[in-house]
Every structure is written in structure tokens, then in C-alpha cells.
Structure 1
Amino acid sequence: MKNIDELIQKAVELQANGLVTGEIANELNVSRDTVTWLLARAKRGAASPAAPKDISVNWSNIGKSSYRLRYISQALCDMVLESLSESGETVDMVVGIGLSGVPMATIMAEELGADFAIFHGYDNRKEKENQRGIFSRNFGNVAGKNCVVVDDVISSGSTTTDVCKQLKDSGAKPVSIAVILDKKNADHIEGVPVNALVHIVRVD
């Protein structure tokens, strides 16, 4: 998407297809506040809230090519290994978050010789506060493992925070976070180092 009008149109289409705010935010790689603003802007004559400070991320040119995805995943592995060499930690498990983190996490687990787990975010359709996601039972058990957490984009950091807390609650140890882009510009989340190919820094 190249402009705000296209972003608004896509948000409206996703809502018309039954997606709720959290799901639209995940699909467009923007915050929930930005989705609310986009949908309000789509309603002519309605008062629109102040525009949130956010950045829309479209990494489909990477995601549509398994060749490019492999190279991005290998670059993330390189950054994770560098981070682990500094901390002296090892990795036993790679945890992919939701739909977007899973393809990279799968490749990274193979590259790192580690087990693989999937974390499903909370049910966005219910839109309730204090919801938590879950680890899939069909993949690796995280208990007792040193884990690398993988996602595409960090926006507010809430999902990544949830994953790290749940890993600790499960007796696992998150040792590194790997993402393509970090909009939060965080060095650490829940005390875990963030390795991002790109960090966004706002200067306004």
C-alpha cells in the first residue's frame, strides 16, 4: 500500500470480511489505535480521532518468496548467534509467533539445530482485556528450554511481552527475540534482547 487511502480501503475490506480490530492490525502491521483511526476516517461525516503516530509495514516482497524468506531468516539467525555469544546463552527452541513469525521460525530452527514451537496470539475476535495466547500442543514443548522468539514486526510489544512472560511461567527461558522490524525501538522486552533487522526511530 502506497498511501493512506489505500490503507483505509484495505482496513475497510478486512472489516467487511469479518476481521476485528486486532486481526486487522496484525494483517496491516499497524497498531490497534491506527486501525480505529483508519476505520473512522472511512466513515464520511464522522468525527475522526487524532491520527496516531504509527508506521504501516508491508513486507510482502519478502513473504511471497521462499528464497528471500530464507535469506532474511538466515540474517536473523546471524544476529541471534551474535547476541547469544555476547550473553553466553545457548538455544534449544525457536518459537514462532502467529502466522507471520512461523515461516521464519521454521527456517531458523533448522539453521540453529533447535526444536520448534508455535505461539498462537489471543483470540482477537473476543477483543477482551487481559487475554493471553497459548503454545500449540502439536509442536515442541517449551518447558525447560532456552528459547528464541520470532515474529515479523514489533509494534507495541504486547504480544512479544506475553510470549516472554508465558515462557517464563512454563519453566522456559527466553534468551533472544528476532524480528524483521521493530517499531518500538526496544533494546530489550521483558529483559530479553531484541534483534531486529530494522529499528524505527521517530524524531518528531
Structure 2
Amino acid sequence: MKDIEDLIEKAVELQSNGLITAQIADELNVSRETVTWLLTRSKKEEKTPAPKDISVNWSSIGKSAKRLHNISLALCDMVFETMEKANAEVDVVVGIAANGIPLASMMAYELDADLAIYHRKGQGVVHTGHRGTISRNFGSVAGKNCIIVDDVITTGSTSMEVIEQLREMDAKPRVIAVLVDKKGVDTIYNVPIQSLVKIARLD
């Protein structure tokens, strides 16, 4: 996407296809606040200041299984480094739906670990609580060392949800592995973050 107008057009298109704000944010790799701003701006003539955010487009990686595999190897290397310091083994790789699943699948294979999937609330899965859920169709996390995998950390709220959910299930979240960290912190709920790219705003 070349500019703001492209982002606005894509956000409006995704909304017209029935996606909610959180899903549009996931698809565009921006914050929910930015999606609200994009959708509001598409309907108004007045120009309100844009939220401080950065759009991440990693489609050049996502469209190629070979590139995804190579990126997953780099993330596995970073995970190994963290796990060695904790003197722990990887039991389960938890992919955050939808964008974290391809990387998590490849990482689980490389790490010889089980694969679990976390569905966010509002992604077509029936939920009883305010958060998402760990799918029952994949690996069990109870009592196991877990690696959390996603594409981008924007605010960290999804990672917080997953960590809380895992701890409630007596799992041990050990590291969060992502392509891009837009939040710019070292840990979330005392779980270290390993990212290929960390973005820091200087304003």
C-alpha cells in the first residue's frame, strides 16, 4: 500500500466484506485506533490528525512458502537462544490466528513441538468470555512450555490475552516470537519478546 488513501480504501473494502475493526487491524497490521481513524476519515471531509502508527505490509513474505520457512528458521534460532537461557525445552508453539499460524506451523515442525492455535474473539469462533480461546482441534497446552507466535505486535493486547489464557490453563508461556514489534518493549507480562524487526518512534 503506497499511501494513506490506499489504506483507507482497503479498510473500507474490508469493512464492506463484513470484517470488524479488530479483524481489519489484523489484516492491515495497524492498531484498532488507526482503523477507526481510517474508516472515519473515509466518511468526512474534515482532516483529523492521524494516530501515531506504522502500517506493516509483509505480503512479499506471506505469499511465498519458501520465504516463510526461512523466516521461521530465523525465529526458531531466536527462540532457541531464549530457551537456553531459561534452561527449558519447547513443548508447544501457539500460533495466533490468522497471521501467526503459517509461521507457527513451520516453527512447530522445526522445533519438533506440538502446534496450538489461539483464536481471537470475533474470528468466527464461539466464545463465552471476553477473550479468545485455544482451539481444541490442535495441541494441548496444559502444563507445557509454550512459544507464542504472531506476525506483528502493535499494542500488545493480544499477546496479553494469550499469556493470561495460557497461565489459566497451567501452561508456561516462555517467549513471544514475531516478525515485527511495533510496541518496542522487551517483555509482556514478564514474557520476553523476540522479533526480527523492532520499530522505535523518535518523535
**Structures share fold, TM-score greater than 0.5:** yes
SS of 1:100's equivalent in the other structure is coil
1:23 Cα deviation from its structure 2 partner: 1.0
Q: Are the counterparts in 2 of residues 37 and 48 from structure 1 also a CA contact under 8 Å?
A: no
Asked if 1:197 is matched to 2:169, the reply is: no
Shifted more, 100-109 versus 81-90: the winner is 81-90
Amino acid in the other structure paired with 2:180 = L
Report what 1:148 is aligned to: 147
Q: Which residue is equivalent to 2:185?
A: 186
The size of the alignment, in residue pairs, is: 200
- Name the residue aligned to 1:67: 66
Contact 1:167 1:173 in 2 (8 A): yes
Runs of 4+ in 1 over 4 A off after TM superposition: none
Normalization by structure 2: what TM-score?
A: 0.95
Q: Which moved more, 1:164-173 or 1:14-23?
A: 14-23
Aligned to 1:13: 13
Indicate if the aligned counterparts of 1:152 and 1:180 stay in contact, CA closer than 8 A. Answer: yes
Aligned-residue offset at 1:22 = 1.0
Return the letter of the residue paired with 1:33: E
The alignment partner of 1:186 has SS state of: coil
1:56-96, Cα deviation, whole Å (9 max, x unpaired): 01000000000000000000000000111122222111000
Q: Quick check: 1:14–1:24 contact (8 Å CA) kept in 2?
A: yes
Separation (CA, whole Å) in 2 of partners of 1:174 and 1:49? 40
Query: Which residue of structure 1 aligns with residue 84 of structure 2?
Result: 85
Q: Give the aligned partner of residue 177 of structure 1.
A: 176
Name the structure 2 match of 1:132: 131
- 5+ residue gaps, structure 2, are none
Alpha-carbon distance in 1 for matches of 2:152, 2:194: 11
In the TM superposition, residue 44 of structure 1 has moved relative to its aligned partner by 3.5
The sequence identity of aligned pairs, in percent, is 58
Please state whether the residue corresponding to 1:72 is helix, strand or coil.
helix
Larger displacement relative to structure 2 (177-186 or 13-22): 13-22
Structure 2 CA distance, aligned partners of 1:179 and 1:6?
25
The alpha-carbon distance between structure 1 residues 48 and 18, as it changes in their structure 2 partners (threshold 3 A), is farther
How big is the shift at 1:124? Answer: 5.9
Partner of 2:3: 3
Task: For 1:7 and 1:151, locate their aligned partners in 2 and report how far apart those are by CA, in whole Å.
Answer: 21
Aligned residues of 1:21 and 1:124 also touching (Cα < 8 A): no
* 1:50 CA drift (Å): 3.0
**Distance in 2 separating the partners of 1:191 and 1:94:** 18
Q: Mark the runs of 5 or more structure 1 residues left unpaired by the alignment.
A: none
